[in-house]
Structure 1
Amino acid sequence: MGKLDGKIALITGGSEGIGLATAKRFLAEGAAHVFITGRRKEVLDEAVKKLGDKNVTAVQGDASNMADLDRLYSLIQKEKGRLDILFVNAGGGTFAPLGSITEEHFDDTFNLNVKGVLFTVQKVLPIFTDGGSIILNGSIVSVKGLFATSIYSAAKAALRSFARCWTVDLKERKIRVNVLNPGPIDTPLFRSLGSTEKEKRAFVAGMAAGTVMNRVGEPDEIATAVVFLASDDSSYVTGIELFVDGGAAQI
């Protein structure tokens, strides 16, 4: 018996990194079907090959685009009729210190990480199962002040308020909403930060040194935490902010 037997799940931004690792875990725990989304078709196609499971559907789209969200949920409703688990994983952004922030930078960051999250959740409600679980992927920067991250940090901090409020909004339907805040995780995006290979290595080493465990985490270490929040193991857990960060934001 798996922890997610028979469940229908959606992972936005599920084509690589944390999203892909979570899709693997969901399937291993018995999920009946997993939908994954992403903006790049070739990466999505490769993810489906890596998952190697007939119970996976990849849907290309932008999580901050309303028409793409409508198309996604129409497809899920047509194919499965419901959704039990939603992992809002799509996110990201660029960084700029105060004094260099542009309107475009602000809009792009908030559109993806705040507006996109809001409407990804709101638009799913008509097909979402009462008693289901919604997990928002945040970040330790929601509580830590790091150089050049003020806009991204503010966007991720908004998710904490979303989880608190939506837990109350959805309590009559017994839908749980929680935030998971990863620390530095070894993903393709994480490894790409920096202009040169030397800068990239220095960035990874610096982030590892900022944790108590003196290492970056693995995507699967986040995926196991998502499974916990998605399953009945966390049946009395709602409205929380769970840090999975090697102690980076704790000590």
Structure 2
Amino acid sequence: MNKLNNKLAIVTGGNSGIGYAAAKKLIAEGARVIITGRRKEAVEKAAEELGAIPFIADQSDLGDIDFLKNEVEKQFGKVDILFINAGITGGLTSIENMSVQNFDEVMNINFRGAYFTLNKFIPILNDSASVVFLSSIVASTYKPNSSVYQASKAALNSIAKTAAAELAPRKIRVNMISPGPIKTNIMSKAGLDEETLKGLDDYLISQIPLKKMGTAEEVAQLVVHLSDDAASGFITGTEIIIDGGLGL
């Protein structure tokens, strides 16, 4: 029996990586899934492959978030699962050399956009809905040249916990998933070349007790678990680390 029959799910940034994997698993469990993204061709291609509903919306654009919320309410009604996944690393540089443009791009998607996605969707969340934020283990690390990305995820965790407290009277659960190194294309999007990426992967694997990178599918399985009332009806305000033991 599918766990999520008759549930409506929104996955922001659902056309690739963890968002794509999560949408696939949610659909496999019976949910109707709307995926969003900025690139029309990529979103529509992914939706066709998945059997999802495509919606072109940029999480950094508050007008797009408003439009998304209004259209979802008009066409589908209430939402049961909200996976706020879209995010970028931005350019990796020191605080001294950080540009305002890079700061704003990262914060507008990872924090401001995520915050107002939740803000706009709260009125159309069903009671007992599940909200999941994709955070990162970097929210509690302080590595050089990653200040803005780290700060954006730390801010995300803070609002997720506050939201869990605010929405508890409606039995809406708000949780965070914080992956460690996951094999996706996010670092190539940050501008790293293949040789640098290979060296980074090898280094990370050497540091991880389980001696492997995580997969998008492993993170997606956690999204499904947190979206299932029966499995996680008593879990809220929780950050789940999935890092192969890297933080030990």
TM-score with structure 1 length normalisation? 0.94
What does residue range 193-204 of structure 1 map to in structure 2 within 5 Å?
195-204=192-201
Q: Which moved more, 1:205-214 or 1:234-243?
A: 205-214
* Aligned equivalent of 1:213, options 207, 210, 214: 210
Alignment of 1:1-251 (within 5 A): 1-31=1-31, 33-51=32-50, 53=51, 56-94=52-90, 95-192=92-189, 195-232=192-229, 233-249=231-247, 251=248
Name the amino acid aligned to 1:236: F
Q: Please tell me whether the aligned partners of residues 64 and 111 of structure 1 are also in contact (alpha carbons under 8 angstroms).
A: yes
Distance 1:139 1:188 in 2: 15
Contact 1:194–1:200, Cα closer than 8 Å, also in 2: no
Query: Which letter does structure 2 place at the counterpart of 1:154?
Result: A
Unmatched 5+ stretches in structure 2: none
CA RMSD of aligned residues (A): 1.3
1: CA distance, partners of 2:191 / 2:181: 15
Partners of 1:208 and 1:12 in 2: CA distance: 29
1:193–1:72 CA distance, 2 compared to 1 (3 A): closer
**Structure 1 residue matching 2:178: 3-state secondary structure:** strand
Q: Which amino acid aligns with 1:30?
A: G
Q: Which runs of 4 or more aligned residues in structure 1 lie more than 4 Å from their structure 2 counterparts after TM superposition?
A: 191-194
Deviation at 1:44, TM superposition (A): 0.8
Give distance in 1, aligned partners of 2:40 and 2:178: 27
- Could you tell me how far apart the structure 1 residues matched to 2:83 and 2:201 are? 26
Q: Is the 8 A contact 1:193 1:203 kept in 2?
A: no
Q: Indicate the SS of the match to 2:126.
A: strand
Gaps of 5+ in 1: none
Cα separation, 1, equivalents of 2:75 and 2:58? 20
How far 1:207 sits from its partner (Å)?
2.0
User: Aligned to 2:111, what secondary structure does the other structure show?
Assistant: helix
Amino acid at match of 1:90: A
Moved more, 89-98 or 177-186: 89-98
Q: Distance in 2 between matches of 1:153 and 1:48?
A: 30
Aligned length: 246
The TM-score with structure 2 as length reference comes to 0.95
Determine what percentage of the aligned residue pairs are the same residue: 38
Query: 1:86 corresponds to which letter in structure 2?
Result: L
